[in-house]
Structure 1
Amino acid sequence: MPDLWRVSLTLLVLCSFSSAQEIHSHGVPEKLGRVSFPVSCAPAVQEQFNRSVALLHSFAYSAAEDAFRGVSEVDPGCAMAYWGMAMTYFHPLWEPHIVPATITTAQREIQRAERIGAGSERERQFIHALGLIYKDAATVPYRTRALNYEQAMSDLAAANRNDVEAQVFYALALLANASPTDKTHEKQKQAADLLEPLDRTYPQHPGIPHYLIHAYDNPELASKGLAAARAYALIAPSAPHALHMPSHIFTQLGLWDDSITSNLAAKEAARQQGDTGEELHAMDYLVYAYLQSGRDQEAALVIQQLKNMSKLNSSDFKIAYASIAMPVRYAVERGQWSDAAGIVAPADAPPHVSAVAVWARGVGLARSGHAAQAGAEIDRLRQIEEQLRTSGNDYWATQVGILTGEVMAWSAQAEGKPDVAAALMRASADEEDTVEKLPVTPGPIVPAREQLGWLLVEQNRAGLALKEFQTALATAPGRRGALQGVARAAELSSRKEF
């Protein structure tokens, strides 16, 4: 990252905090980019409505809800204000997409918008589309409702080709339904095709670079996202999520210093605004980047800050994942196997988060001479996988299956079964290669193919190990473990020549 970009980002963050403190004592973001979303409500609420949508585009959901509610208080007949409130309960790119406890509230708001009636056909389409997300939520699977929403947004975008918000929200709907198993990235590319021309026309719109970053957050497309990553934090520096999002692209490209800069700013902004989930999300990416840069002491400091945080809601997936992933990363990336074997997830953590801690214990036990004890962790991972599969969460069930295979591989290696170990780890690596990461994480704690490289190093199969490390680096550039693996494999190869 150019030094000028870093200086500009820092100054904008400081200025936005000063402005927020002067104007809003509760710290609601005020530098959010430029949004123009004309609605047929009282003219007095138009500016506040635009601000509410800007908050929404930066996933500042709580602040956006307050802002839309403020619109409704000034103009109770503004149907789109209630559409906006209902939108804040729909998190298309986060898990859970709709918190179960909020469904009734969200349904009430969208039904109120429907009863009031839209002031234009365009507004009616926005309200109708969102209504499909909440309609029959108790009986119709989310995936079906999300696809219905996407189709309705497609119709809206087609009928309003010159309406920037129709196009941007349609692009987000496409990203919401992008399959993590689609390695062609069809929907991501479709969304990007919508957003790239708009980005040139509306360079200060916060949603456009935000969703471009999400569209390009994969190894195939990441290099295309660098311009959006550089732009977004400067457009909306008061939004913690806008400060963090560039690091998704920086992580994909191995730009660790840039990722650290982004997440330090995002962490501080989220802390000042009381957004614990966003603060922890930034901290997780920060620990990841510090470890890849060899800045272990700074990573340890972030983890100590985590330990000092009290009353974390471990049932919240975003909070639970980050708070478990950080100490796991720190132990496993540094080969501290005894520490890894002692990690335990909170009792109320979601099962797919608990699986990360179970995996860490299993790998830690297997790699510290206690392979027999790792069997209990393998059994627990299988139980979690089955639980997730039964509940319909196939993505995370697959991820847990990959983790299970990794623990089994390290256990087999410890038990003197090298061929079995290599086959198990290769199967995990091949399976992992077929799915993309979700936005909640910078990637696997340690990619399975990188682990395969180290397994082959232990088996003194340097040539095969080198190939696996190089393949791992093609997908995850700049990872410290894989780079060290390349050096180690080369060293083993040179020894064999003499």
Structure 2
Amino acid sequence: MAQSPTWSAPLLTAMALLAGCTASTIDSPAVAVAVMDHEGAPLGSVAVAPSCDPAVADAVRRGFALLHNMTYTAAEAEFASVLEEDPECGIAHWGRAMSFVHPLWPDVPTAEQLKLGAEILAEAREADHLSALERSYVEALAAYYEEAGSRTEGERITGFWEGWSRTAAAFPEDREAQLFLALAEIARATSSANRVADQIAAGQRAEQVLQEIPDHTGALHYIIHAHDLAELAERALPAARTYGEVAPDNSHALHMTSHIFTRVGQWDESVRYNSRAADAGLQNPVNGALAFDYLHAVDYLVYAALQRGDDVFAHRIRSDVEALEGPIQNHPASAYALAAVPVRIALERGDWASARTLPVRQPEDFPWDGYPQFEAMVHFARGLGAAREGAVAEAQAALAALQTLREAAGGLPIQYDWATQVEIQEMALAAWLAYMGGEIETGIQGMADAAELEATTVKNPVTPGEVLPAGELLGDMLALENRHAEALEAYEAALSRTPNRLNSLIGAARAARAMGDEQRADTHYRAILSMAVPEARLEAIAEARRVAGGA
């Protein structure tokens, strides 16, 4: 369960200033106000009553909505525009500093941003327009920036959680503070031994706000993130289906719905919302560069299309991506999608010849040095393709590259353990090298070890799922040895983690059928038929139609 915060010494003064802040400090909670972007499109509602010049109140609310939608660059710009009109608006200074902190994303503030954020908060403290509630917001965020350069991101996130815990306790009726605490709780749960329980608690906090404000953009967003685990995702389906309509032109909001659709294997809805998200991302560049929102949505879109057997669509998207003209926003989600899209298409279809020749570091002008964990996916695909085609030297070279990239990933200043993800790929490739070299039991044991390690990890939100799950690869290896009962167990274990994956479903159906378990096979075949597009021409889907569909 979530622990009570322990306050660091530099926060004690701020706590003393806020000691008298109870529910009576605010006459009444801020009313919910529907927010629009500059083009008049809805962004959802927030409950903010800024103490600044009334002329900038709508812009402040817009900044809050953009923060909750994690449209951070636009949020900073919005708060900066407020300061042009009212330089003494303390909450706008806070908003600028808040826009640098992305607790659930795979990036961290630069050293320059950490320094600037602390300086901005110092200006906020001196602003003439700063209520007691707003001052507590400043101090909550200051707990992240305190001595930021000498702390890890995990330590800064702990400070962020401590700060918002203090503010939420001092102002329990303030819905925004409760939601920022929920955000902090989700971020902190990433490294918690009680992750599921902690994320459930964070989700419940957000749900309490949603009961009062059914279109609150932050409540909907954080409910989705809190339930972005295989065992929790079903609970967030109503929020997912609402969020995309509350902010219907916001790329990130549209995409976020698919975190839940992906977790439960509802590919039609993932395709629908990510198509809209990609269109919105393409139309809204960031500082003149193609927004990562487009590429992030595209990766989820390709993943969903491949599960439906819609290969024509997946290849068309890949062609669109390869035809892009830069610049491309330098962001982890951009790097991940650029690497993952071609890898997925080759590996999902067992196109080993294409996999082994995938180009590395494409496009060439993207800053790949900062993303060894994502470059590793391409080497994994090249190595697996080479191993499956008997090109031992190529596979060994890819394995050596993975070892180097794993070490580099281990040195990244981020919370998520990408080094373990690269290690799983490394183990899987080594297992297939052994297996294809005739060391059958060594290969199977190595693949089982990789699957066991994978089962202890939680996927990062930047990805819809592994480019090929280790559990599924274990099933494939066992199936080649006609060890059907073990293969079925491996495929169904993979399906419990990633429901409705096409390759796991067809593998499970074939294994069950080979065992004579026609009922179990029929269940998996029918799952394939329920999600396949009519124009799908894959052999796996044709087989499902023959066996279970009457074709």
Q: 2:533 maps to what in 1?
A: none
**C-alpha distance after superposition, 1:206-260 (max 9, x if no partner):** 0101010001011110010101101101111121111111111000111000100
Q: Do structure 1's residue 134 and structure 2's residue 145 form an aligned pair?
A: yes
* Structural mapping, 1:371-382, within 5 Å: 371-382=392-403
Q: Which deviates further from its counterpart, 433-442 or 481-490?
A: 481-490
Gaps of 5+ in 2: 1-35, 518-551
Q: 2:420 maps to what in 1?
A: 398
Letter in 2 for 1:202: I
In 2, the alpha carbon distance for the partners of 1:47 and 1:392 equals: 37
In 2, the alpha carbon distance for the partners of 1:197 and 1:314 equals: 36
Structure 1 residues 180 and 341 mapped into 2: Cα distance closer, same or farther (>3 Å)? farther
What is the TM-score when the length of structure 2 is the normalising length? 0.82
Cα offset for 1:493?
3.1
Q: 1:4 maps to what in 2?
A: none
- Give the alignment partner of residue 373 of structure 2, picking from 335, 352, 371: 352
CA contact (8 A) 2:292 2:329 kept: no
Q: Which deviates further from its counterpart, 326-335 or 87-96?
A: 87-96
CA contact (8 A) 1:181 1:436 kept: no
Q: 1:339 maps to what in 2?
A: 354
In 2, the alpha carbon distance for the partners of 1:332 and 1:308 equals: 22
- Give the alignment partner of residue 39 of structure 1, picking from 41, 44, 50: 50
In 2, the alpha carbon distance for the partners of 1:216 and 1:168 equals: 15
CA contact (8 A) 2:427 2:447 kept: yes
Q: Secondary structure at the match of 2:42?
A: coil
**C-alpha distance after superposition, 1:299-339 (max 9, x if no partner):** 00110010111225485311110111010000000111111
Alpha-carbon RMSD: 1.9
Q: Which deviates further from its counterpart, 30-39 or 415-424?
A: 30-39
Q: Do structure 1's residue 271 and structure 2's residue 279 form an aligned pair?
A: no
Letter in 2 for 1:377: A
- Give the alignment partner of residue 464 of structure 2, picking from 442, 457, 474: 442
Letter in 2 for 1:234: E
Q: Secondary structure at the match of 1:185?
A: helix
CA contact (8 A) 1:180 1:437 kept: no
Q: Which deviates further from its counterpart, 483-492 or 53-62?
A: 483-492
CA contact (8 A) 2:52 2:129 kept: no
* Structural mapping, 1:240-319, within 5 Å: 240-274=251-285, 276-313=291-328, 315-319=330-334
Q: 1:10 maps to what in 2?
A: none
Cα offset for 1:79?
1.0
Q: 2:224 maps to what in 1?
A: 213
- Give the alignment partner of residue 330 of structure 1, picking from 334, 345, 349: 345
Gaps of 5+ in 1: 1-18
Q: 1:7 maps to what in 2?
A: none
Q: Do structure 1's residue 425 and structure 2's residue 447 form an aligned pair?
A: yes
Cα offset for 1:180?
5.7
Cα offset for 1:391?
4.5
Letter in 2 for 1:300: H
Letter in 2 for 1:345: R
Letter in 2 for 1:116: A
Q: Secondary structure at the match of 2:43?
A: coil
Q: 2:187 maps to what in 1?
A: 176
In 2, the alpha carbon distance for the partners of 1:57 and 1:146 equals: 17
* Structural mapping, 1:188-199, within 5 Å: 188-199=199-210
CA contact (8 A) 2:152 2:413 kept: no
Q: Which deviates further from its counterpart, 381-390 or 224-233?
A: 381-390
Q: 2:502 maps to what in 1?
A: 480
CA contact (8 A) 1:313 1:320 kept: no
Q: Secondary structure at the match of 1:34?
A: strand
> How many pairs does the alignment contain?
471
In 2, the alpha carbon distance for the partners of 1:107 and 1:82 equals: 10
CA contact (8 A) 1:371 1:414 kept: no
Q: Which deviates further from its counterpart, 132-141 or 170-179?
A: 132-141
In 2, the alpha carbon distance for the partners of 1:150 and 1:118 equals: 25
Q: 1:15 maps to what in 2?
A: none
CA contact (8 A) 1:118 1:124 kept: no
CA contact (8 A) 2:144 2:156 kept: yes
Q: Secondary structure at the match of 2:150?
A: coil
Cα offset for 1:372?
3.4
